[in-house]
Amino acid sequence: MEITWEEKNLLSIREHAYLFLKKSILEGEFQAGDRLIERELAAKLKISRTPIREALFRLESQGFVKTVPRKGVVVSDISENEVIEVFTILASLEVLAVKLAAQKMDNETRQELDQKIKELNLLEQRSEEDFNLEHIQMNRLINKASKSPKLFEILSGLIDYIHMAANMGYETPGRRKESLKEHIGIMKALHDQDVEIAEYLMRIHIENSKKAYINYVESLKEKQNKKKK
């Protein structure tokens, strides 16, 4: 496939590299365990290694790839069943986190929530792509507010799964902004120390995120089956 990316293109070279690699992973061109070598990718896409390196770093932060000692960057091996299992776990742990956060609310945390809500309300008016960078920050803020170091540690260990599944779910049109509104609602409930509403909204958020992920995986399977025919 001949690839030509010119400066006049709407998206920057780094964004093209990121989207190309992400699409290749999601559509199975790069399989779990495959090495992604900077110089080979740069040669294939006819660009410098810098945007490739930046794209791989971004993909690693989202859980799509990981760095393995003496092997380099490889595609993450995370199965559909594993992700569904994580959603089941989150249905308990993140609901517990918001319950504790609402119960332990203090002025410092309330001010942090105020600031983040203002930022997200502004973000809601911008491109959906801008929301990607906020997802982990919002989760960390909510989980930290629980003031339970052990719970925070457990949820932090699941962050790669959470972010990867969320990014796949975001392929569903409108899911990013829907998720953004859900997070704003959760943080407002926490701010007001409304435990029941905070728990309810978190359950809805996790269920909607799981549905978006499953829908994306199913649509991907359909595309792959059509290619085989």
Q: Which amino acid is at 58?
A: R
The per-residue pLDDT of the chain, averaged, comes to 86
The pLDDT value given to residue 53: 94
Rg (the chain; Cα; Å): 19
Superfamily of domain 80-227: GntR ligand-binding domain-like (1.20.120.530)
Q: Widest CA span of the chain, in angstroms?
A: 60
Estimate the share of the chain in helix, then strand, then coil, as percent rounded to the nearest 5: 70, 5, 25
Over 80: is that where the pLDDT of 64 sits? yes
CATH code reported for the domain at 13-75:
1.10.10.10
Distances in Å between the alpha carbon of 1 and those of 13, 45, 95, 184?
18, 10, 47, 43
Nearest to 139 by CA among 183, 170, 173: 183
- Per-residue pLDDT tens over the stretch 79-104: 788 889 989 999 999 999 999 999 99
3 state SS of 38: helix
Q: Residue 133: is its pLDDT beyond 80?
A: no
- pTM (two decimals): 0.73
- Full 3-state SS string of 112-123: HHHHHHHHHHHH
Q: What integer is the mean pLDDT of 130-153?
A: 84
So where are the chain's domains?
A: 13-75, 80-227
More confident residue, 29 or 194: 194
Provide the pLDDT for residue 4.
55
Q: So what's the pLDDT on residue 170?
A: 83
Whether 27 shows a pLDDT value over 90: the answer reads no
